[in-house]
Structure 1
Amino acid sequence: MEQPDPTIHQPVRLKIMAALKALPQGEQLEFVRLKGIVGATEGNLGAHITTLEEAGYVGVEKDFVGKRPRTRVAMTPHGRRAFEDYVSYLQEIIGVAGSS
């Protein structure tokens, strides 16, 4: 990888991906909890989740708990691989910088 993945590289999306990667594979994080972790507004977080979903990096599930809407987000296998590649890219940079 010559350049970082521009979809993941954006700071809010990087935080989203890191939070989801910390979960066991296939596990979901509720939007409200993710909002607290990332520190974004609802609209901003929603827009970034949409970008990640369009890239195939996350899956979004919407349902209701009683009468209240609930949105949950999970990292897809494709997203997990993309994030691992992104981390490897950063590690390569550190390795190059550390050997100079």
Structure 2
Amino acid sequence: MAILNPLIHAPVRLQLLTSLSAVSEAEFVTLRSLLEVSDSVLSKHISALVEAGYVHSRKGVQAGRRTTWVGLTKHGHAALRDHVRVLRALIDAVE
């Protein structure tokens, strides 16, 4: 039986990855607002996902201010798909 990915399963990380799956990249402040977390909490989760190779981040300037952009990698897409497949199997076992 396949198991849930503990790195992805944390609620904020799962929400972050699913949000990123719909776009090529998202700005840090947009993600912070969407997930309703502090800068430090989001930074910590992004760092863990970057280290695993699930997301990439880049810094830039937009409208005269520094910003960070975050995007899902191919490896991250695959890991999220696998995690969702396991979740669906668990849900199907209940119904």
Q: Please tell me the TM-score bracket, short chain as reference.
A: over 0.9
Q: Deviations over 1:47-85 (max 9, x none)?
A: 000000000000001012364211000000000000000
- Of the three residues 33, 37, 49, the one matched with 1:36 is 33
The yes-or-no answer on 1:95 pairing with 2:92 is: yes
Q: Which runs of 5+ in 2 are unaligned?
A: none
Summarize the alignment of residues 1-100 of structure 1 with structure 2, pairs less than 5 Å apart.
2-23=2-23, 27-65=24-62, 67-98=64-95
Unaligned runs of 5+ in 1: none
Separation in 2, partners of 1:4, 1:22: 21
Q: Tell me which stretches of 4 or more aligned residues in structure 1 moved more than 4 Å.
A: none
Identity among equivalent positions (%) equals 37
Which stretch has the larger CA shift, 49-58 or 66-75? 66-75
Aligned residues: 95
